[in-house]
Amino acid sequence: MPGGRQGQKNAGAPPGRLWASADHQELLRPFSGPVLGTLRRRLLGWYATHARPLPWRETCDPYRIWISEIMLQQTTVKAVMPYYARFLAAFPTVHALAAATESRVLQLWEGLGYYSRGRNLHRAAQVICAELQGDFPSELAALQKLPGIGRYTAGAIRSFAFDLPAPIVEANTLRLYARLLGYPGDPRSRAGQLLLWEFAERLAQSKTPGQINQALMELGAQVCTPVDPDCLACPLKSCCRAFAEGTQKEIPAPQIRPAVTPVVEATIALRQGECFLVQQRPVGARWAGLWDFVRFPVTSLSESDPLDVECRNRLFCEVHAELQNRHGLRTETLQVLQELRHSVTRYRIRLICLTAESPVGRAITPAAATAGAERHQWLTLQEIERLPMPVTGRKFARALHRQE
């Protein structure tokens, strides 16, 4: 930012805030016009030789680029590749995605996690088709009005699809920028974000902004890695302050991760004849819109308790009570089929999978069904196969198949 605007913005701010702003300008000062020009040339030269051949780099279609960017959020390239191909085979255009059911979208998203991404993709596609005649906007403000598109994703679509200048800051570039600038603070703080986005803005002012942004991300992914960055192979080492000062292993400052909470849950495959009870996760719940077997937290077991006779009896008593209270169902045939361990955000979950027989024809009480989920169904395992499910629900269903 120009000095005048920076001063006006911070008028009346605490001395610490003023010092931080001035300090950031000092970090940015070495990156003048000529230095940025040299940086871009070296970066593009390296990228021309080292860029990975990824399918979303072979297109300028904003739809395909958008799909890839949403999938790549908090997910590795290797994990995304098969999902990207399957998703585009099912929904080759934004119109096809908009016309699909949410259930079908979530089914194809199954296993990628963070399912709100899939729901937002579906909603944004409907907005694009209904309000924009199927055309993607190229302006950042218009892109960020779409569900699920934030500042980074808007910049990626604008620069990669339309080759228009747009700053980008994501995990790889955040690390790269912090080291180039030698920024010792927390790059995820408000002050750190202001600095890095301003630096990204300067870098993006290029004749080929799309290539510049792709190259910055690739350099961060391949060379400027979180652990043991390959500084000697970096084309930008001569203008990297962290490399000059030997602080590349300390920068960026480590992210403070929330404490992990252990949780024990039970899931029950409740059977009537050939059918099993499944319920749709309600809006606002974990895995909203997906289908799962009856599932709830239990308090009678800890994360490390063995499933001996005493612990099983405690568990079975709690499960009997929950089935009665939630669904008005009674069963005397509980059995443990398997245990699964998985993590969701800051929770480490021990999931105990049980089976039980329910009297044929016994209906779920309406009040309990409404409290437990938006919808419930009795379905065969073959019918369940066509529903979108969380990974653990799918593993449980396959275990039931094997048991059959």
CATH of the domain at 272: 3.90.79.10
Question: Do 190 and 316 fall within a single domain?
Answer: no
Q: Is pLDDT at 367 greater than 60 in this prediction? A: no
| pLDDT tier at 10, thresholds 50, 70, 90 | very low
Question: Do 100 and 35 fall within a single domain?
Answer: yes
Assess if residue 129 is contained within a domain.
yes
| pLDDT at position 256 | 83
What letters, b where the CB count within 10 A reaches 16 and e where it falls short, cover 268-294? bbbbbeebbbbbbbeeeeebbbbbbbb
pTM of the predicted protein model: 0.82
Q: Which residues are catalytic?
A: 69
Q: Compute the chain's Rg from CA coordinates.
A: 26
- Of 15-24, 30-39, 134-143, 175-184, the one with minimum mean pLDDT is 15-24
Assess if residue 250 is contained within a domain.
no
Assess if residue 358 is contained within a domain.
yes
Angle between helix 190-204 and helix 209-222 axes, rounded to 10 deg: 130
Q: Which residue would you say has higher pLDDT here, 195 or 328? A: 195
Question: Do 217 and 297 fall within a single domain?
Answer: no
Question: Do 176 and 29 fall within a single domain?
Answer: yes
Assess if residue 241 is contained within a domain.
yes
65: which 2 tokens? 């680029």
Q: Is pLDDT at 302 greater than 90 in this prediction? A: no
Average pLDDT over residues 261-278: 90
Q: Which residue would you say has higher pLDDT here, 228 or 18? A: 228
Helix, strand, or coil (residue 347): strand
Helix, strand, or coil (residue 373): coil
| pLDDT tier at 362, thresholds 50, 70, 90 | low
| pLDDT at position 2 | 32
| pLDDT tier at 319, thresholds 50, 70, 90 | confident
Question: Do 294 and 399 fall within a single domain?
Answer: yes
Using a 10 angstrom Cβ sphere, with 0-12 exposed, 13-18 middle and 19 or more buried, the burial of residue 389 is buried
pLDDT per position as a tens digit, 199-242: 999 999 999 999 999 999 999 999 999 999 999 999 999 999 99
What DSSP assignment string belongs to 233-248?
Answer: G-TTGGG-HHHHHT-T
| pLDDT tier at 374, thresholds 50, 70, 90 | low
Assess if residue 251 is contained within a domain.
no
Considering 215, 245, 275, which residue would you say is the last residue of a domain? 245
The total of structural domains in the chain comes to 2
Question: Do 182 and 35 fall within a single domain?
Answer: yes
Residue given tokens 């080492």 in the structure block:
237
Question: Do 67 and 215 fall within a single domain?
Answer: yes
Question: Do 201 and 285 fall within a single domain?
Answer: no
| pLDDT tier at 143, thresholds 50, 70, 90 | very high
Assess if residue 255 is contained within a domain.
no
- Provide the CATH number for the domain around residue 191: 1.10.340.30
| pLDDT at position 163 | 95
Considering 184, 210, 245, which residue would you say is the last residue of a domain? 245
Question: Do 238 and 383 fall within a single domain?
Answer: no
Give every CB contact of residue 277 below 8 A, 6+ residues apart in sequence: 269, 270, 271, 293, 294, 327, 358, 364, 376, 377, 378
| pLDDT at position 320 | 86
Question: Do 85 and 192 fall within a single domain?
Answer: yes
Other Cβ atoms within 10 Å of 255 Cβ, number: 9
Considering 245, 273, 299, which residue would you say is the last residue of a domain? 245
- Of 88-92, 150-154, 299-303, 360-364, the one with minimum mean pLDDT is 360-364
Assess if residue 28 is contained within a domain.
yes
Question: Do 296 and 340 fall within a single domain?
Answer: yes
Closest to 334 measured CA to CA, from 358, 356, 359: 356
Most confident segment among 317-331, 338-352, 365-379: 338-352
Residue 178 · residue 251 · CB < 8 Å: yes
| pLDDT tier at 267, thresholds 50, 70, 90 | very high
How much of the chain exceeds pLDDT 90, in percent? 60
Closest to 282 measured CA to CA, from 212, 398, 371, 399: 371
Q: Is pLDDT at 14 greater than 70 in this prediction? A: no
Range of the domain at 361: 261-403
Residue 262 · residue 303 · CB < 8 Å: yes
Helix, strand, or coil (residue 264): strand
Q: Is pLDDT at 186 greater than 50 in this prediction? A: yes
Average pLDDT over residues 53-79: 94
Question: Do 287 and 222 fall within a single domain?
Answer: no
Assess if residue 254 is contained within a domain.
no
